[in-house]
A and B are shown apart, each in its own frame.
Chain A
């Protein structure tokens, strides 16, 4: 079920909300939790019930291993057996992820290198597997470190399956979720949270349905359909994807935060105006914050972080980001995207060590363009698609200027410039470039939704604004599209 679907907004969400609080009102606390788990699993199974056994098995397995690690902690068994148990838990999780997500990629490469013809498994990727696997690996590691309490299975299930965050994050940490599920105060309807939740949900829905989906059309046409892209069409394509991804994913996160708030649960923020970043390290503090947190806490620091000398720090950064790239998808382009970000972080670190500084506007310009170019590899299905877009951005596929300007700029014909509809190949019109510039101004100059939420006091004007955005989004919803982060 999509957050931006009629069945979710007008059926699933209100029904779940009312039954959950009705059960709590009747003091059936455990039943209300069980109902929330059931609803979440129903929500998860809506796409394909075949995925259900996978998430249930994964949940049960990790709960058993996590509980055993906790018991080992209490009973003071030897460190070796604890370590083995943890290793077993992590390897099993990674094996599950590898089997479903990376097996075909592995076979393809074996076939390519050895000339063999091993058949691909062509397995359907279980929804949200990357998210719930990472979430549970974090739980196992923390159980090993003795940082988890002994949760019962119902609470643990709710932590993993809670539907607002189940499909595409934020990647929540047990320490920020479990206490909230336990709080008695959270079991009573809180009208301030409900009003705020509706407000945030409306903003997220608008970001996704109205803004991101508009950019999606141009990005898809540019990357997947257009045979070549002229200079401006190529920039419009890459920038469209850059904005599509941001508004899509941050819109999803806003919706998740808003829905969770209806149930008195506060999810961590995941975005903080990432395109305002003036260096790549700053970007990763603002983009998909919960993934960055996971990568730092469970990969970078265990690898040694910055504690083992400069060279090792650089290696750790590269390794962390290449793994981050692979986490997003089974493909060399994803890996290369991770590599680019790792390399940029290494360069930034070395640069900072040398004490160099840039003007803020120049630092922003370089950072934003690097991110924009790196997204080309992230989005492209094939290397050729990426090269097509990048070649176009470099002007290698010609320059087309708006036909209306031909009279004034006719002399440019001598330099190979053509005059026609600039964004025709990506299905755009004269408004496409304007909207891209508008999005750039919004993301760069304005506060983000999280900052607004922190500072505003809800008033009837704000609520009417939210209602307006909600109505606009619902009326634009008949073109249903998936969220980009579903398959990561």
Chain B
């Protein structure tokens, strides 16, 4: 009888604990996986996509929209508004992929916030067939049109329980969620800029290590030997939507540091893929190509690492795209590549 009671105790306590944890996670939903926000609270987990979605809802209009990956997150909305007029919102997201851009545009159309211009920053890795859609994208029902499973299908998760408790703590203590983005979706690189200001930033080391990580397959070049037909289709659908809604599209291929570019050239597979990539892009867009060796891409101080560029360089890119008359001859970079079917 004693052992039977022990078994009952084990089952009762375990099942109760699991159900309570699952129930708390469901109610708080710290990763915003359901459509319901039972407590109507800001979530402690603020992914870039979640943040940008919320901020974009607060914007009255979005005349100019930036789409792209983290490499385009430094495109300053104020600078764009200076060239194009109207309001600009930067919706570039970390590890952004074509499904992100299409999902974002579809969402804004549904919200009736149709932009007049889109500045689309393309990256070489975009069409890697081996990359899975980002978990942050999948967990945003307003962006995710792929009907794929979100990052985790279960609420019986300790990680989520910890986040839920943090969330509850913040609500109970009435603590404000700290946003890292400004109201236009712009993300300043505060930590890096402060290190640079104090001469504590080793540009070359960051560029070299980052580049090696790409080449070792740790990042998005992993097994990059063929272009994804699905992702090409997403880009084509984006073009069609732009045509249907009379949206002007400005496209550029983001720069990489010359060291990074040379490393690609040392790798046969990546070199062939890059040739294929540029050929494919040219079939669909006219674009500005900043991904080649030039004196700007040679300068370490224009980069945080081998692919993320600093604000002065993003301003230079925008000045070239919008043909700023104040540009000197030296500052005129970017190869304009016309669409060729």
Contacts and interface: CB of A to CB of B under 8 A. Distances in A.
B10 A475 contact: no
Given A225-B218, A467-B9, A471-B14, A192 B161 contact: no
A466 interface: yes
Contact of B7 (A6, A191, A468, A474): A191
B7 A475 contact: no
Interface in B3-23: 3-7, 9-10, 13-14, 17-18, 21
A460 to B, nearest CB: 6
A475 B6 contact: no
B3 A194 contact: yes
Contacts, number: 65
A269 B9 CA distance: 27
A191 B5 CA distance: 9
Interface stretch (B122-130, B133-141, B150-158, B298-306): B150-158
Contacts of B13: 463-464, 467-468, 471
Contacts of A467: 9-10, 13-14, 17
Interface in B104-163: 152, 154, 156-159, 161
Contacts of A191: 3-4, 6-7
Contacts of A198: 7, 10
Interface residues of B, number: 22
Contact of A192 (B3, B17, B156): B3
A124 B17 CA distance: 40
A474 B21 CA distance: 11
A472 interface: yes
Contact of B10 (A225, A463, A476): A463
Contacts of A453: none
B18 A227 contact: no
A475 B157 contact: yes
Given A191-B7, A194-B3, A475 B21 contact: yes
B7 A194 contact: yes
Interface string A203-228: 00000000000000000000001010
B166 to A, nearest CB: 16
A471 B156 CA distance: 10
B32 interface: no
B212 interface: yes
Most A Cβ at <10 Å: residue of B5, B14, B216: B14
Contacts of B17: 467-468, 471
B3 A458 contact: yes
A470 interface: yes
Contacts of B5: 460
Interface in A453-488: 458-460, 463-464, 466-468, 470-472, 474-478
A96 interface: no
Contact of B9 (A460, A470, A472, A477): A460
B18 A195 contact: no
Nearest to A475: B158
A463 B159 CA distance: 24
Interface of A: 6, 191-192, 194-195, 198-199, 225, 227, 458-460, 463-464, 466-468, 470-472, 474-478
Given A191-B4, A470-B10, A471-B21, 20 more contacts: A6-B154, A191-B6, A191-B7, A192-B3, A194-B7, A199-B10, A458-B3, A460-B5, A464-B13, A467-B9, A467-B14, A468-B17, A471-B13, A475-B21, A475-B156, A475-B158, A476-B158, A476-B159, A478-B154, A478-B156
